[in-house]
Amino acid sequence: MKAKSLFLLFVSIPLFVPLCFAQDDISAKLTPSAINARIAKIRMGDLIVKTSPGAEVKVQQVRHEFLFGTAITNHLAEIDENAMSPEDRKMFLKILAENFNYAVHENALKWYDCEKQPNVVDYSVADRIWEICDSLHIPMRGHCIFWEKDKYIMPWLNQLNNDQLRAAVIRRAIDVTKHFKRRIEEFDLNNEMIHGDFFRRRLGYGIINEMAYAAKAGNPDITLYVNDYGILVERGYNASTYITQIENLLANGVPIGGIGCQGHFVSIDRANSSGRAATTPEHVQKTLDNLAKFNLPIKITECLFAADDEQGKAEALRMFFPICFAHPNVEAILMWGFWEVGHWVPETAMWKKDWTPTPPGVSLSRPCF
């Protein structure tokens, strides 16, 4: 019996110790000094100014290389049926230009929004939003070519037989990427594949390859992203599933070029009345590190902050943003809108209806890094 006890003790030690070191390593990465050191290393550079002795030199940063973005509502386009008033539009553009250098259409590029009837494709609202952002020197990403959830499938599309559906899928992928070629060079390929399977259920798993190569037929230079939720936030209940999904897509030859992690809803309050699980710094750091093994760019594509009070939302932002900003694989963070009017979740907006900034809005406009 003594020999057996010694053997069990010997086996348990190497299983336990690495886990402790792994957790210690994550904790060490999350100290303010460690985060600031990574930011200094990957986000800052030296500036050399040559001038005559005694000259007064003033240097002011006017634009950030890192991409801080927002979703743009259809209402910004003057041609939209629910367009903003001229006064609101002016304020919207002012805040957009002052606080963001990257953008995405909230709905105007989704298939259900630009082809409400079969073969009647209308990109006019999406085009106008792109034109506005371009005038402000704000690049855009594409969201999304397809969306797997049944509830977002147009009735006319659902009624097609499988051969007709496949033809419609190929046409859509080629058309949207070709239309925005040299304007939008990055798209979410098939949104939220963990949570929906409409196209795969109807057409088989190979349809993802067909979608991707049709998109590249429209624009060979397009970068295709996966995009899903429950990865970094709410304790990452989908994190391991997402990693496995990306592994399988790449193994099956799907040309995935980037990873999108949604940020609905970041919360640090375990008792908040929404009932959502808190987002822990440890999980965010660990999951970003795990995703980094693919050596692909990571973008935080849809960020919202949840709490029972505005200060709690600001604290969540100040916890979440620096960890993402300090990670070498993260190339962008996008809010899912910023103005209360027309916002998907109005209580999470950073600017109120009267354009008063909330504490998260103040934190955003006063860099927290």
DSSP letters spanning 222-270:
-EEEEEESSSSSGGGTTHHHHHHHHHHHHHTT--EEEEEEEEEEE---T
**pLDDT value at 136 more than 80:** yes
Question: 179-211 pLDDT, tens per residue?
Answer: 999 999 999 999 999 999 999 999 999 999 999
pLDDT of residue 13: 32
CATH 1.10.3720.10 fits 67-365, yes or no: no
Computed from CA positions of residues 97, 181, 229, 320, in that sequence, does the dihedral angle turn out positive or negative?
Answer: negative
Q: What is the pLDDT of residue 366?
A: 58
Which has the minimum average pLDDT: 73-87, 131-145, 216-230, 355-369?
A: 355-369
The pLDDT score that the predictor gives to residue 263 is 95
Residue 8: is its pLDDT beyond 60?
no
What is the DSSP secondary-structure string of 143-196? --SEE--GGGS-HHHHTS-HHHHHHHHHHHHHHHHHHTTTT--EEESEETTTT-
Lowest mean pLDDT among 46-50, 116-120, 283-287, 323-327: 46-50
Q: For residue 32, is pLDDT > 70? A: yes
pLDDT tens track for 340-366: 999 999 999 999 999 999 998 888 765
The pLDDT value given to residue 160: 98
User: Over 80: is that where the pLDDT of 311 sits?
Assistant: yes
Instruction: Give the tens place of pLDDT for each residue, 285-310.
Output: 999 999 999 999 999 999 999 888 89
Q: Which tens digits make up the pLDDT trace of 80-97? A: 999 999 999 999 999 999
Cα distance from N-terminal residue to C-terminal residue, the chain: 58
Q: What is the pLDDT of residue 273?
A: 59
Q: How far is CA 369 from the centre of its chain?
A: 19
| Res 79 pLDDT > 60 | yes
Q: What is the DSSP string of 238-249?
A: THHHHHHHHHHH
- Over residues 60-73, the mean pLDDT reads 90
pLDDT at 270: 55
pLDDT by residue (tens digit) across 95-131? 999 999 999 999 999 999 999 999 999 999 999 999 9
The ranges assigned to domains in the chain are 2-43, 67-365
Helical H segments across 30-119, by residue range: 32-43, 86-99, 111-114
Query: What average pLDDT does this structure show over 167-173?
Result: 98
Task: Determine which of 133-142, 153-162, 230-239, 327-336 has the lowest per-residue pLDDT on average.
Answer: 230-239
Region 318-323: what's the mean pLDDT? 95
Name the residues annotated as catalytic: 192, 302
pLDDT bin (cut points 50, 70, 90) of residue 71 is very high
Single pTM value for the model: 0.91
Residue 278: per-residue pLDDT? 85
pLDDT band at 217 (very low <50, low <70, confident <90, very high): very high
Residue type, 134: D
pLDDT tens for residues 252-264?
A: 999 999 999 999 9
C-alpha 287/C-alpha 62 separation (Å) is 32
Q: Tell me the C-alpha distance between 331 and 260, whole Å.
A: 10
Query: How confident is the model at residue 15, as a pLDDT?
Result: 36
